[in-house]
Amino acid sequence: MVDDHTWEFKLAEGGKVSQRGTLECRSRKVLLERCKTHPKSQYKYAVPDYRRSKPWTKHTVHFITKTPTPEVLVMLESISINAPQVDPGVDKKDHAYLARNMVGTGAYKFVEWVKDDRITLAYNKDWWGGRVDYEKVVLRPHSGERHPVARS
């Protein structure tokens, strides 16, 4: 924190958004505006009331809240990062487009989504956090059925 209203965030230089390019502060600013104002946003609660988000450099941003907001870090942690510098129309596209064209900066990158069947993720070799336990992860929806317990 710089003062009671100003938070300074520094993004790791060389950070990459899977399948889209490098991570920069302007990506975060466009994303915050979309989360706060888009009519279908499920993340409005996660963006604190702020006066402005001002990039100081390519990798440093000052986030200035309207009132002292000590929970800023907890609020912002659930927001994923997109890369509008590579996909400049992302702020104009609908929710369905973003759901089908997922990107992120985490340990895994999106590979495939088969509706009502599975989501496949693969290890993101550009991830800053190092190796992970699994090269590939497949997520399947739970059917809600109870599985029988094996008895001997």
Say yes or no to pLDDT of 117 above 50: yes
Q: Tell me the pTM.
A: 0.58
Say yes or no to pLDDT of 56 above 80: no
Dihedral in degrees, nearest 10, Cα atoms 8, 12, 14, 17: -90
Q: Which CATH superfamily is domain 6-103 in?
A: Dipeptide-binding Protein; Domain 1 (3.90.76.10)
The residue ranges of every structural domain in the chain are: 6-103, 106-152
Q: Are 64 and 54 within 8 A, CB to CB?
A: yes
pLDDT band at 86 (very low <50, low <70, confident <90, very high): very low
135/39: higher pLDDT: 135
